[in-house]
Amino acid sequence: MDLADAAMAAFSRRGLLLAGGAFTLTACGPKTAAPVAKLHDPLTLEQAVAGAWRTPADRARDVWRHPLETLNFWGLKPGATVVEFWPGAGWYTDILAPFLAATDGKLYAADLQTNDTGEPASAEMVSAYRRKLREKPKLYGAVEITAFGPTSGPVAPAGSADLVLFLRNLHNWMAAGIAEKAFHDAFVALKPGGVLGVEEHRASPGGVPDLLAADGYVQQAFVVQMGKEAGFILDKTSEINANPKDTKDHPFGVWTLPPVRRSSPRGLPEDPTFDHTKYDAIGESDRMTLRFVKPT
């Protein structure tokens, strides 16, 4: 189990507790990949996606996650105020933070809510994320870290955000019993007319929804229902991140597929004899991409 996996597993109904403070980092705009922009120059979204600071492994996943097309679909604009829920290791942060820093925008990272004594994997993930931002303040800008969890407070000042992002985390929140809170907290943070962007592993339609999302897949109709119950209007859907090869019947759920490539049940040692060929050929999961709007 990798660190991200362990951290998400720690957020169960039993393990979710208290805390996670907020702090601010300093900075300005970044130096970019071709076409090269000077430090402090405005940065286009295309330049942020192509940024040389992104790791080769992260950039290799663009073919599955389509960050440029996805962020354009959600309507990200220069100078926006954005809230990213549970940024993990910072895959999307590496695009959002430099772009917003260079265009006088603002990023709030509503990270895992941790506690003082438990869940070391969660605490380490939060610590690594903060360290990452701290080491390159000129690149990432003034990212403000808040927290999201069962007892967390506001993820950003009420009515301040233009865009809130749920990026492949709804299944974790469903398992922890905090999915409805996520929608509520996002609704409060957004301006009237603001957008909630959702990317999530998509279950096959029909049947009774698995309210705990045990295999990592969530029915799109159920996500739409949760959004509407929180007060949102479903504005648009997109197939940008669809993958028709995903049969959604894998032995270790969605985590059998790349990038996790699990070879044994969660919590057990990896199976060196497991054949990943079939699952690697599928690629990353089939995903819904939804755009909700807070009514004016």
Domain containing 78 equals 3-293
Give the pLDDT means over successive 10-residue stretches in the chain (296 positions).
47 38 36 42 92 97 98 98 98 98 98 74 93 97 97 98 98 98 98 98 94 97 98 98 98 98 96 98 98 98
Q: Looking at the DSSP assignment, which residues form a beta bridge with residue 151?
A: none
Q: What are phi and psi of 58, to 5 degrees?
A: -70, -45
pTM of the model: 0.87
- The distance in angstroms from the start CA to the end CA of the chain is 44
Which residue spans within 6-143 are E strands per DSSP? Answer: 23-24, 81-85, 106-112
Place of tokens 């985390």: 169
pLDDT of res. 7:
52
pLDDT digits (tens, 9 = 90+) for 254-278: 999 999 999 999 999 999 999 999 9
Residue type, 269: P
Evaluated on CA atoms 51, 191, 182, 106, the torsion sign reads: positive
Q: Looking at the DSSP assignment, which residues form a beta bridge with residue 148?
A: 112
Instruction: Please state the domain count of the chain.
Output: 1
State the CATH number of the domain containing residue 236: 3.40.50.150
Are the C-beta atoms of residues 221 and 208 closer than 8 Å to each other? no
